[in-house]
Amino acid sequence: MSSLQMKDRIRAEIVTPEAKRDYVQGLFGRIADRYDLTNDLMSAGLHRRWKRLAVNMAQIGDGHVVLDLAAGTGDLSLIVGAGSTEGYEPSLVVAADLTVPMMQRGRERSGAAAVRWLACDAMDLPFPEASVDRCLVGYGLRNFPDLGQCLRELRRVLKPGGRLVTLDFGRAEPQWLDRAYLRYLEASGSVAGWIMHRDIESYRYIAESLRTYPAQRAVATLMQYAGFVRCGSLDLMFGTMAINFGDVPN
Ligand SMILES: C[S@@+](CC[C@H](N)C(=O)[O-])C[C@H]1O[C@@H](n2cnc3c(N)ncnc32)[C@H](O)[C@@H]1O
**Count of alpha carbons within 13 Å of 75, Cβ hemisphere only?**
23
Question: For position 113, what pLDDT does the model report?
Answer: 66
Ligand 1 site-directed mutation target among 41, 97, 236, most atoms within 8 Å of CB:
97
Spatial CA neighbour of 239 closest among 196, 180, 193: 180
The count of structural domains within the chain is 1
Which pLDDT belongs to residue 85? 60
Quote the ligand 1 centre to 98 CA distance (angstroms). Answer: 7
Measured from the CB, is residue 244 less than 6 Å from ligand 1? Answer: no
Cβ atoms of 90 and 64 closer than 8 Å: yes
Q: How many CB atoms sit inside 10 A of residue 238's CB?
A: 13
DSSP 96: E
* Rg of the Cα atoms in the chain: 17
CATH number, domain of 238, equals 3.40.50.150
Write out the residue range of the structural domain in which residue 196 sits: 3-247
Per-residue pLDDT of the chain (250 residues; tens, 9 = 90+): 667 677 777 777 777 889 999 999 999 999 999 999 989 988 899 999 999 999 999 999 999 999 999 999 999 999 998 766 667 888 899 999 999 999 999 999 877 668 999 999 999 999 999 999 999 999 999 999 999 999 999 999 999 999 999 999 999 989 999 999 999 988 888 888 888 888 887 778 888 899 889 999 999 999 999 999 999 999 999 999 999 999 999 9
| pTM summary value | 0.94
Q: Is 75 in the pocket of ligand 1 (CB under 6 A)?
A: yes
Angle between helix axes 17-31 and 175-197 (nearest 10 degrees) is: 50
Atom of ligand 1 nearest to the CA of 71: 6
Q: Whose CA is nearest to atom 8 of ligand 1?
A: 138
